[in-house]
Amino acid sequence: MHRNLLLSLFLFIATASIGQSDKFKYDTDLLTKEFHASRREALRALMPDSSVAVFFANPERNRSNDVDYQYSQDPDFYYLSGYPEPNAVLLVFKEKIQIDSIFTNELIFVQERNAFRESWTGRRLGTDGVKNILGFKHALLNGQFADISIGFERFRKIYCIEPKDDMRDDKNDRGDLFSLVKHYRTKTANLKTKDSYNLIQLMAVLREVKTPEEMKLLRKAINITCESHASLMKSLDTTMTEYQAQAIIEYGFKVRGSEYPGYPSIVGSGENSCILHYIENRRHCRNNDILVLDAGAEYHGYTADVTRSLPVNGHFSTEQRQIYDIVYDAQMAGINACLEGNEFRAAHKAAFAVISKRMKELGIIKNEIEAMKYFFHGTSHYLGLDVHDAGLYGKLKPGNVITVEPGIYIPEGSDCDKKWWNIGIRIEDDILITTGKPENLSASLPSKADEIEKIMKEKRLFPLPAVEK
């Protein structure tokens, strides 16, 4: 058969077999097009008259040679559009305006369908999919952005957060992200109405208060996380490595429907329990170790963030139990401070007060301010589409979801009795601010010392191969 005919036949078959993007083909509980449209409308309500907000999709990032990292959309872009693909730009206008032959208050430019590329890297929505599935009335190909007459000079305010300069330029694609940003800069050159800071603030206003649709996905991510943590509690023992513990909990995420971890899992034993963001996870666990496990599942873009500190042999030593109980009591004080109208740092202040007082009572520190050497991070951050989510860090509001995660970390060589060395403890839960008492969304996972020791006595779930030490 003639080569061109073969190619034409292949493209016809490929095109005929490609339907909607996999994300929308297989998952039935994604955020709806109505949700994303409502978020765009909410943004318009915050924007001043005669303004435009410009959002770019995240860059694709290279891992090595011809292998890229799995693509993850910019959270603001996803929040407003639901579009999961790269090389796109979204414009949200305060009022309806005329752009060439289009009269609209929003416009999205996306990558085109390509049967050959899709057979290699997955299905694309194209303009028809963006209209039919995501509900946009006007969607154009990204290659058209260079030529369309936006007329940015007509706006009193141009909001935009440009991507960092880590974009690759595909010389054969005038619609790639590099080109989209380049043409935006050309179209807005010398205009003094551009503003990035206030767009960050506007998006924080929206994203810091979770809607019921978002809470459904966030609860799912947290439930997956708690069940997976519990599986590891039942499996952990002194023969295990940190990476085997990581494998068990991340298996739990995946088998329960999570797409991937929301952040690199922190699995630190012994001296590594005192490193806040330790992610190498290569050490062999030992008999008297504490294992700090900070890992959260991501589900449809929303991530949990839960930490437990476990005695590898199933029983806390006297010193480990004393430090653990301080952190537990500090966390309870922090959670109780998560009330509507309180300042964001109320949980931290409450937790720090407990830790500083009790560490002084144990003789680990002489003055309460010295507790900062061993509790050197904040207690809370917002949670949502980012593990450290957008928010204003002002007064707590119903619908805020924040973490409460006090910790004590006493590395070897610390200025205290050696019996405390290499004890690192952090306890973290995900808290929903309500009009009444705070709701601990991850409360199903045991956190009291006695409860942890009890669940760790249960039947081992994952017999693992021995690893040479």
Residues 300 and 281 in one domain: yes
Residues 258 and 199 in one domain: no
224 within 8 A of 304, measured Cβ to Cβ: yes
The pLDDT of residue 19: 44
The pLDDT of residue 8: 42
- What CATH number is given to the structural domain containing 368? 3.90.230.10
The pLDDT of residue 446: 97
Q: How many domains does the chain have?
A: 2
The pLDDT of residue 463: 65
Q: Locate tokens 């909001």: which residue?
A: 159
Task: Give me the percent of the chain exceeding a pLDDT of 90.
Answer: 89
67 is written with which tokens?
Answer: 């292998």
Task: Give me the percent of the chain exceeding a pLDDT of 70.
Answer: 94
Residues 200 and 229 in one domain: no
Mean per-residue pLDDT, 278-285? 97
Q: What is the Cα–Cα distance from 176 to 117, expressed in whole angstroms?
A: 14
Q: Locate tokens 């249960």: which residue?
A: 458
Q: What is the Cα–Cα distance from 324 to 311, expressed in whole angstroms?
A: 10
User: Is the pLDDT score of 7 beyond 90?
Assistant: no
Q: What is the pLDDT of residues 196-207, one digit of tens each?
A: 999 999 999 999
145 within 8 A of 32, measured Cβ to Cβ: no
Does residue 94 form part of some domain?
Answer: yes
Mean per-residue pLDDT, 104-109? 98
With cut-offs at 50, 70 and 90, classify the pLDDT of residue 460: confident
Residues 75 and 223 in one domain: no
305 is written with which tokens?
Answer: 């963030």
Mean per-residue pLDDT, 331-341? 98
- What CATH number is given to the structural domain containing 142? 3.40.350.10
Average pLDDT over all residues of the chain: 93
Q: Which residues are catalytic?
A: 66, 277, 294, 305, 377, 381, 388, 405, 409, 426, 428
Last residue of a domain, which of 159, 184, 206? 206
With cut-offs at 50, 70 and 90, classify the pLDDT of residue 465: low
Residues 271 and 202 in one domain: no
Q: Locate tokens 């039942």: which residue?
A: 234
Residues 47 and 136 in one domain: yes
Does residue 304 form part of some domain?
Answer: yes
| DSSP codes of every residue in 15-44 | HHH--S-HHHHH-S-SPPHHHHHHHHHHHH
Last residue of a domain, which of 206, 226, 243? 206
Q: What is the pLDDT of residues 207-263, one digit of tens each?
A: 999 999 999 999 999 999 999 999 999 999 999 999 999 999 999 999 999 999 999
Does residue 120 form part of some domain?
Answer: yes
Structure-model confidence comparison of residues 19 and 114, the more confident one: 114
With cut-offs at 50, 70 and 90, classify the pLDDT of residue 321: very high
pTM for the structure as a whole: 0.93
Does residue 467 form part of some domain?
Answer: no
Does residue 272 form part of some domain?
Answer: yes
Q: Residue 45: how many CA atoms within 13 Å on its side-chain side?
A: 8
> Closest Cα to residue 91, out of 73, 78, 105?
105
Q: Locate tokens 């008492």: which residue?
A: 437
| Domain, as residue range, for 330 | 209-455
With cut-offs at 50, 70 and 90, classify the pLDDT of residue 171: confident
The pLDDT of residue 254: 96
Does residue 5 form part of some domain?
Answer: no
Last residue of a domain, which of 174, 206, 238? 206
Residues 130 and 238 in one domain: no
With cut-offs at 50, 70 and 90, classify the pLDDT of residue 468: low
Residues 253 and 197 in one domain: no
Mean per-residue pLDDT, 306-320? 98
Residues 215 and 198 in one domain: no
Mean per-residue pLDDT, 387-401? 98
320 within 8 A of 311, measured Cβ to Cβ: yes
- Three-state secondary-structure class, residue 185: helix
> Closest Cα to residue 210, out of 364, 416, 439, 446?
439
Does residue 469 form part of some domain?
Answer: no
Does residue 64 form part of some domain?
Answer: yes
Q: What is the pLDDT of residues 403-450, one digit of tens each?
A: 999 999 999 999 999 999 999 999 999 999 999 999 999 999 999 999
User: Is the pLDDT score of 164 beyond 90?
Assistant: no
Residue 75, beta-bridge partner list: none
> Closest Cα to residue 24, out of 106, 101, 171, 130?
130
The pLDDT of residue 163: 86
> Closest Cα to residue 291, out of 330, 249, 252?
249
79 is written with which tokens?
Answer: 């929040």
Residues 183 and 36 in one domain: yes
Containing 230, the helix (H) or strand (E) segment is helix 212-233
Q: What is the Cα–Cα distance from 51 to 154, expressed in whole angstroms?
A: 9
Residues 213 and 192 in one domain: no
Structure-model confidence comparison of residues 469 and 44, the more confident one: 44
Residues 382 and 369 in one domain: yes
